[in-house]
Amino acid sequence: MRGQRIGLAVVLGLWCSLSVGEAQTWTQFLAGNFESNNFTQFTATSTSDGTIVVTNTCTPPPAQGLYHCKADLAGNGGTNFARVQWDLPSWGQDQLWAAEYSMYLPTGFHSARTCTFQPFGTDTFPTLNNQMRLMVYLTAPQNAFMVLNDEGVTTEITPAFNYLTEGQWVRWRVEQKIHNSAGWTKVYKNGVLVASGTGDTWTGEPVTRIRFGYADCSAQTAPLTLYLDHIVVYTGAE
């Protein structure tokens, strides 16, 4: 059973950030921008009661390039996801990593939502399938948190932040150190730090996958659409 540990960071940053007085440097590890008009930059896509395609139909378009990803859920209830993913080389304790992505939620997205929305996260599949997710709850005020799911026990590892921006592209970045006591997590929205926490970020198994889109949105009973672009994963060093 893990206890909840939340601490607040006081220093803002993006490309080179500060934590506990130490600088982090970041090296690009994976990148996908959909400009090849397919998913070959990723390990895989997966869907359940949904579709995921490369398109150029979002208005307005993203700031860079022509193509982007469109993910739809049909809204028939049950298990719902539509996501791109990369396999990872079994990240363990003391691993520093960061992920960035641009996401566009059409106007009305959240009012049509009947599920807890998980647009991004990692997991330890196939061992136990423990997870770290960005989770937007359904109940008012529909706050978002970074959470760990360790064998069915869900722990919030950051304070609440706002994920409800609709009708425009938003650039999200999550930075994390994996550790069972000295870990930390930071969330940036358009370059501004919106949430951070310190403590346990380790579920007991190495992280093997990272997913974007509808990482999970189970029990959705109405159609949903989102757009995704310019995904980058970094590894870091203190």
The rounded percent of the chain whose pLDDT value lies above 70 is 90
Query: What are the distances in angstroms from CA 75 to CA 71, 82, 102, 114, 156?
Result: 12, 12, 23, 9, 27
pLDDT tens digits along 102-127: 999 999 999 999 999 999 999 998 88
Domains of the chain: residue spans and CATH:
23-237 (2.60.120.200)
Quick check: 120 and 105 in contact, CB under 8 A? Answer: no
Q: Checking DSSP bridges between strand 224-237 and strand 18-19, what pairing results, if any?
A: unpaired
Rounded mean pLDDT, 169-179: 97
Say if pTM beats, i.e. exceeds, 0.85. Answer: yes
The pLDDT of residue 68 is above 90: yes
